[in-house]
């Protein structure tokens, strides 16, 4: 990945082997806890290929890298970057405002599709066997 060495060097100064992450979540988001736009945990995020004009931070870069190839949900992004969902939503909001990301609401599950009881019972039996 181009520029990944620079990103690794920047990330290294924020991590400590024993203590873990040295920057608190509220610092990452500049103290903000509310995104400027509404995002569900299942909202899909995709990088546009455009970078923000100014450097926003290593977490913003990491989000852009994660959703460059395919859409990723906000929940998955939060897990990958190790931030609470609310902070991840603020970071996604920042990137969307800079037009570096596009977002799409998740598709609603069709209520007309009946649940197949046999399939659900087979899944349950399989899970019970593994436990």
CATH assignment of the domain containing 85: 1.10.10
Q: Is residue 104 part of a domain?
A: yes
Q: Is residue 97 part of a domain?
A: yes
pTM of the model: 0.59
Question: Tokens in use for 99?
Answer: 């037009």
For residues 77 and 67, give the distance between their C-alpha atoms in angstroms, rounded to a whole number.
8
Total domains, the chain: 1
Q: What's the pLDDT at 76?
A: 93
Cα 55-58-63 angle, rounded to 5 deg: 100
Q: What's the pLDDT at 77?
A: 93
Q: What's the pLDDT at 45?
A: 92
CA atoms within 13 A on the CB side of 43: 19
pLDDT along the chain (131 residues), means of 10: 48 50 55 71 90 81 91 92 87 90 74 70 88 76
Domain extent at residue 83: 27-109
């Amino acid at each position: 990945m181009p520029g990944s060495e620079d990103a690794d060097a920047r990330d290294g100064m924020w991590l400590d082997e024993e203590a873990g992450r040295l920057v608190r979540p509220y610092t990452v988001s500049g103290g903000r806890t509310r995104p400027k736009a509404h995002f569900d945990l299942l909202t899909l995020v995709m990088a546009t290929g455009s970078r923000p004009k100014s450097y926003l931070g290593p977490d913003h870069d990491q989000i852009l890298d994660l959703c460059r190839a395919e859409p990723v949900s906000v929940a998955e992004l939060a897990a990958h970057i190790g931030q609470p969902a609310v902070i991840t939503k603020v970071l996604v909001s920042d990137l969307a405002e800079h037009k570096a990301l596009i977002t799409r609401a998740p598709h609603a599950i069709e209520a007309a599709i009946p649940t197949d009881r046999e399939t659900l019972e087979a899944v349950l039996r399989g899970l019970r066997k593994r436990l």
